[in-house]
Amino acid sequence: MNLRNIVHTRTYSEAAGELEKIMNRGDVVLFKGSRWFRLERLARDLVGSIGPTRLLVNLDAIAANIKKIRAIVGDSVEIMSVVKSFGYGNDSIRTSKVALENGVTYLAVAFPDEGATLRENRIDAPILVFNVLPEEADKIIRYRLNSAIPSLDLAEALNVAAKGCPKIPVHLKIDTGMGRSGVWHEEAIPFIEQVFKMENLCVEGIMTHFSSADDPDSDNYTLAQIAAFNKVLDRAATLGRSFRYVHAANTSALVRFPETRYSMVRPGLAIYGMYPSASVSNLVDLDQVITFSTKIAQIKSHPAGRCISYNRRFITCRDSRIATLHVGYNDGYPRFQSNRGHALVRGQRAQVVGTVCMDTLMIDVTDILEASVGDEVVLIGRQGAEEILPDEIASNGGTINYEIVCKISPRVTRIFVQS
Ligand SMILES: *Cc1c(COP(=O)(O)O)cnc(C)c1O
């Protein structure tokens, strides 16, 4: 190597300083040395130079969750990992790769553009796109994506577009009561027959989706959906139509209704370590994947009577120490947490005070005496003995954990942890 490209340093911080001079966004740094040198300390110093607000994604936890799903469904059922919405906010590329390394054989996304992103990042596994428009047919072909077929219109558009190309693998979508997309189950047979006749499509799958599989009070409705789907499968079979992939189960159904596993299951949320409802968390124990954190940027002491943040929605009622954080609703920390949510500092809960701003928010650290500038603040995840789950935030806003995690914005730097 050119001697000018070699730098000698004596301490970790010197080395970090040298590296920071030459490192750019998107660079990959390989740390190599014997265990004894403890180069991970250097790695940690460098991570310290990234902005304070981060989403730590534990890829080992994702692998563990897939193994737990595998243990539930057994070896004969394939797992399709649903990585829509940027992998539920975790990053679809890295989490897809981990999923594929751990026995997942199929990926699913909501839109063709999400599938294109995976292909552009050299992910070669089959990818099913749930929601395709006829005018997106070219994209399906160009990126070798497989399409769910909720209507004859889409089937026809794909069949025309695929002329002269390899056949497009498609999965017929049957509406058994979700009331979203798909052909109503009582009208499914003519639809199935027509798509099978299209010469540029290859019908490799059939699917349905449950409306309420997370809710024990709705189990009769789910059972009716299962019965309707089975009836379609039986009638298709008598006509000699069979499918390599028969799939219906999201996280809730695969855990709660073994009969919905068919030949493939479609978990999303469980892979990311979250539960759709208590009825699912009672049955399976998943590893927490994400930690959403920032640092205390500033601490100010206020006497009683000071107004905090926009529209004076919080007024100090005692001598207070209020910390400012560089994270706001633009980062996906919901504005409904104003005066309501909590964050963890030194293993203790601190209340969000005043209105959550676009880029900043304030927390009350009066009772956390040791709290100081630079301290790590956990917004979602564990710190010491305390934990804040996405579910806690969701219930403050009358929403579900799904919405909280998939809205953590791209501005938040993802850091992937893998042993
Ligand atoms: C999102 C989605 C899933 C995954 O659901 P989870 O509840 O996250 O497991 C499965 N199938 C379809 C059609 C979906 O849209």
pLDDT tens-place string over residues 40-97: 777 777 777 788 999 999 999 999 999 999 999 999 999 999 999 999 999 999 999 9
Fold for the domain defined by 290-417: Lyase, Ornithine Decarboxylase; Chain A, domain 1 (2.40.37)
Which of 67, 197, 300, 310 is the catalytic position?
Answer: 310
pLDDT of residue 263: 98
Active site residue 221: no
**Is any ligand 1 atom within 6 A of the Cβ of residue 269?**
yes
Ligand 1 closest atom vs CA 207: 13
In angstroms, rounded to a whole number, what is the distance separating the alpha carbons of residues 131 and 33?
Answer: 48
CATH 3.20.20.10 domain extents, the chain: 59-281
Q: What is the pTM of this model?
A: 0.92
Separation of CA 266 and ligand 1 centre (Å): 6
- Ligand 1 site-directed mutation target among 66, 73, 82, 257, most atoms within 8 Å of CB: 82
Q: Is 130 in the pocket of ligand 1 (CB under 6 A)?
A: yes
Catalytic residue among 12, 68, 84, 407: 84
CATH number for domain 59-281, candidates 3.40.50.1010, 1.10.10.410, 3.20.20.70, 3.20.20.10: 3.20.20.10
HEC-encoded secondary structure of 173-199: EEECCCCCCCEEHHHHHHHHHHHHCCC
Q: Print burial letters for 319-344: b (CB count within 10 Å at least 16), e (below 16).
A: ebbbbbbbbbbebbbbebbbeebbbb
Task: Provide Rg for the chain, Cα atoms.
Answer: 25
Instruction: Provide the mean pLDDT of the chain.
Output: 96
Q: How far apart are CA 125 and CA 32, in angstroms?
A: 31
Q: Is position 163 annotated as part of the catalytic site?
A: no
What value does the mean pLDDT take over residues 8-20?
A: 87
Beta carbon of 328 within 6 Å of any ligand 1 atom: no
CB 140 within 8 A of CB 147: yes
Please give the distance, rounded to the nearest whole angstrom, from the Cα atom of residue 360 to the centre of ligand 1.
33
Over the stretch 237-281, which tens digit does the pLDDT of each residue have? 999 999 999 999 999 999 999 999 999 999 999 999 999 999 999
For the chain, residues classed under CATH 2.40.37.10 are 290-417
In sequence order, what DSSP letters do the residues of 23-61 get, joined into one string? --TT--------GGG-THHHHHHHHTTS-S-EEEEEHHH
Q: In this model, does residue 332 exceed pLDDT 80?
A: yes
The pLDDT tens digits for 346-402 are 999 999 999 999 999 999 999 999 999 999 999 999 999 999 999 999 999 999 999
Q: Is 6 helix (H, G, I), strand (E, B) or coil?
A: coil
Q: Would you say the CB of residue 321 lies under 6 angstroms from ligand 1? A: no
The Cα-based distances of 223 to 175, 188, 227 in angstroms read 14, 19, 6
